Amino acid sequence: MLQAADVSFVYGPGQAGLHGVSVDVPGGGLVGILGPNGSGKTTLLRVLGGMLPAASGRVTIDGRDLWRISRRDLARQIAVVPQETRLSFEYSVLEVVLMGRYPHLGAFELESQDDVAIAREALAATGTLALEHRLFPTLSGGEKQRVVIASALAQSAGLMLLDEPTAALDPGYQVEIASLLRRLNAERGVTMAIATHDLNLAAGLCRQLVLLREGRVIASGPTDQVLTRESVRALYDVEADVHYHEAAGHLTVVPLRRIRARD
């Protein structure tokens, strides 16, 4: 289990941060982190992943303080999938996925055939094995995202933190990525925390939600209890229709209008 207890983080005067945030990501869980721009979603992921130190409060994984774990050991437990991946060189897809094996290599140690086999297994699991010799920059947005998820999978970490995994993807790729994440969670037991703007992605994928506004948690709990017309209004200043969709098999959210004055 990954836990943040009363965590705060401030970038500087007048800048958004986190204020007394508490979050539980249970083993095997799928937790969605929702909030408007500047609400602190990415900051929270970075604090949970040990990339930013909390100014106060505590983050633990299985009861151990995150900052008492070496960076190498932490990378063996937590994999991070950023919103956008930019590489300095034109690496092949296989080379990108092999980067996920770095926490398992010693100083100056090269990847073994076992590492290559793990990387190819991760590519197969994400449906990108046929792309292994392609250069990463030549891929489509959806292909890139699946390859980055494969790299995180090759890291052999039990916990994955994903920042806007379907941002800027067309509906077909959005469905594909959601299906992939659902399958990795169900079949491989990968625990996930996903920061997203996509209310319907969160409704269909996540079993628990954390709603952030201005760096504070305004609601958290099971998705079917937390995702309501009232919570969408409080989170985004939007009137929305929230109802269970029989064909989709989960709650759906249809924004209706923006509330200009908090009426």
Instruction: Provide the whole-model pTM.
Output: 0.91
Query: How many Cβ atoms sit within 10 Å of the Cβ of residue 223?
Result: 19
Mean pLDDT of the residues in the chain: 92
Find tokens 């590489």 and name the residue.
87
Can you give the pLDDT at residue 154?
95
Q: Where are the domains of the chain?
A: 2-77+157-258, 86-156
Q: Are strands 208-213 and 216-222 parallel, antiparallel or unpaired?
A: antiparallel
Q: How confident is the model at residue 262 (pLDDT cuts 50, 70, 90)?
A: low
Question: Residues 32-42: what's their mean pLDDT?
Answer: 93
Can you give the pLDDT at residue 84?
80
pLDDT digits (tens, 9 = 90+) for 62-104: 999 999 999 999 999 999 998 888 887 889 999 999 999 999 9
Query: How many Cβ atoms sit within 10 Å of the Cβ of residue 109?
Result: 11
Q: Are strands 17-25 and 30-34 parallel, antiparallel or unpaired?
A: unpaired
CATH class for the region spanning 2-77+157-258: alpha beta
CA angle in degrees (0–180, nearest 5) for 192-177-118: 70
Question: Residues 154-182: what's their mean pLDDT?
Answer: 90
**Whether pLDDT at 47 is above 70:** yes
pLDDT digits (tens, 9 = 90+) for 238-250: 999 999 999 888 8
Can you give the pLDDT at residue 14?
62
Which amino acid belongs to residue 54? Answer: A
Sheet order of strands, 216-222 included = 78-81, 159-163, 191-196, 30-34, 208-213, 216-222
**Whether pLDDT at 263 is above 50:** no
What is the phi-psi region of residue 40: left when phi exceeds 0, alpha when psi lies from -120 to 50, beta otherwise? left
